[in-house]
Chains A and B, each alone.
Chain A
Amino acid sequence: MNAAFLQVSGLSKSFGGNQAVRDISFEVGDGEIVGLIGPNGAGKTTCFNLITGFYTPDAGRVRFRDEDVTALKPYQMARRGIVRSFQKTNILKSLTVFENVLAGQYLVAKQPLWRTFFPGRVVRKAESEARERAAEIVRTMGLDARMNAPASLLACGELRLLEVALALAARPAILMLDEPAAGLNSHEAARFGEVLRTLPGRWVKSVLIVEHNMGLVMGVCDRVVVMNFGRKLADGRPAQVQADARVIEAYLGSAVAEGA
């Protein structure tokens, strides 16, 4: 495995009496696609929220590129290259697909404030580059036909793709996707998997993905981390994890207990 890129150690969070995440540790290497899976309520999304600063962890540390980034604000995380998508589709609804991706390039196109009011050649160049790149990202995600359609008119599957496009626009080092294939049909999911595989090295360095579509996870991920009831159950190559007795039990129930 490559040197640790994103390193999560001993992460814990409880809401009232409910310990949603307990002592979770894992790593994402440079160039890796890592899947975070587990039954519903296992604490995957909470884990995402802890890493990206939407929640503050009770304990544990998040290190990214040799820097402690624990409990920074979400926008500070984004500035360091940790960008996420959301489980419940979150896009800029009243804007077009192109405008969504353009807005996503905020950090890339950022200018000193006075330049907002007195733009010169520098700003015009940055703006036209941002527009070109926005169009390129839209094409990469296969949304070209919908480039100028308002996001509110997109179908469910297209919305998921737009969400990933929006996250990509922020030029992340590590892209964190929360159930990006939810609502995609099997054909769309397969196509999405293909797109996903082209991302590391070209658009991002690494990908961390929470997903229930096992076909997609096992086909795309280099490594899989399995969670259950807030704890880490297993960590390894897809084939290893699939053969792990504890993982099978978590998903299908215990043969001995249930079968009797």
Chain B
Amino acid sequence: MKIERNVLIAVLMLAALLGAVLRDQYMLHLAIMVMFYAVLATSLNLVVGYVGEFSLGHTAFLGMGAYTAALCSTHLGWPMWLTLPAGGIVAGITGLLVGAITLRLQGPFFVIVTLAFAEVLRITAANWIALTNGPMGLTGIAQPGWLAGSGTTDAKVFYYYVALLLLGVAVYLSYRFVYSNAGRAAVAVRENRYVAQSVGIRPLTYALVALGLGAFLTGMAGGFYAHYISFVGPEVFGFPFMLSMIIMVLVGGKGTLLGPLLGALLVTFLEEYLREAKELRLSIFGLAVMAVVLFMPRGLMGFLLRRREQRAAAVVATVARPEGVA
């Protein structure tokens, strides 16, 4: 707990320092995408890693956040510091509504219903032309006014720090949730529903809190994406985003706070450098995910943690042995 907190703080501070020295536009863009994906992976991990239900519909919240921010910006002229929270809140409410229905299901049923939900939203976004401009998407999402006068590098640095702030919020809220009574309740439900109920935990409550929080964070990230790319189309609801999030959470290690950050860093850079491989890229990812699931079921962080546990087990074994001899 203490170690994880200190490492998280160190990572965020390092990122803050990096923003002050990094001036290469391409690297800045990559760093922004890493942080954007880190927020997504962190929020998905709340559901997959701590509640233990596999949501394939997390892009629904990403899209809700992106479209809300884009619409508030283009139609109402809201500034960015209002559109991001608005995107988060709309996505959060969507999350609570979807969760109230779907979290009563478990296992494959939950997976299928969430997937279907995201797909329905994607089709709606592609066809409700009056509101969303259909497949053409919403363009011309306003940038903060003062950015117009400054150079593109300055704009990138600005977005870098917005992304970092967002990541900070995501990590802080997740940390608070995970190491609270509520987080312990969620983990208890994940580990054993019957035990959880017999000590007074209502399973739906904490699954809903985790999903609502995850949706809120994803929605803010969606809003950020809308402003940063300055375009939102129906593909924000699409499966490729979902795929990236899943790979990041699984590779990094579900059920840990550092795992998704590590996963986001690795996968974003891999995606970038595997561009050369074109279609082969997805196949390589597929193989990587299969290898992780088979050989490191708890991801990279789980792998590191297990080595610590094994040392603890060795200690327990040596404590137990003298009794056996005597």
A235 vs B319: C-alpha distance when bound (angstroms): 45
A-B contact count (CB 8 A): 105
- B176: chain A residues within 8 A (beta carbon): 116-119
* Interface residue A113 (Cβ < 8 Å from any Cβ of B): yes
- A103: chain B residues within 8 A (beta carbon): 184-185, 187-188, 199
Given the interface contacts A74-B198, A107-B199, A150-B313, does A113 sit within 8 Å of B187 by beta carbon?
no
Query: Binary interface profile of A, 125-147, with partner B (CB < 8 Å = 1, else 0)?
Result: 01100100000000000000110
- When C-beta atoms are compared, the residue in chain B nearest to A130 turns out to be B181
- When C-beta atoms are compared, the residue in chain B nearest to A170 turns out to be B199
Residue among A54, A107, A117, A169 with the highest chain B CB neighbour number at 10 A: A117
- When C-beta atoms are compared, the residue in chain A nearest to B176 turns out to be A117
Number of interface residues of A (CB under 8 A): 46
A146 vs B309: C-alpha distance when bound (angstroms): 13
A170 vs B199: C-alpha distance when bound (angstroms): 5
- Chain B: interface size category: 20 to 34
Of B182, B192, B197, which is within 8 A of A92 by CB?
B192
- B187: chain A residues within 8 A (beta carbon): 92, 95, 103
A83 vs B194: C-alpha distance when bound (angstroms): 11
A113 touching B188, Cβ below 8 Å: no
How far in angstroms is the closest Cβ of chain B from A3? 25
B199 touching A113, Cβ below 8 Å: no
How far in angstroms is the closest Cβ of chain A from B52? 11
A118 vs B173: C-alpha distance when bound (angstroms): 9
A116 touching B182, Cβ below 8 Å: yes
* Interface residue A205 (Cβ < 8 Å from any Cβ of B): no
- When C-beta atoms are compared, the residue in chain B nearest to A84 turns out to be B198
- A113: chain B residues within 8 A (beta carbon): 182, 209
How far in angstroms is the closest Cβ of chain B from A13? 18
- B173: chain A residues within 8 A (beta carbon): 117
How far in angstroms is the closest Cβ of chain A from B221? 18
- A153: chain B residues within 8 A (beta carbon): 313, 316
- A78: chain B residues within 8 A (beta carbon): 197-201
**A interface residues (Cβ-Cβ under 8 A, vs B):** 52, 54, 73-75, 78-79, 83-86, 90-95, 99, 102-107, 109-111, 113, 116-119, 123, 126-127, 130, 145-146, 148-150, 153, 166-167, 169-170
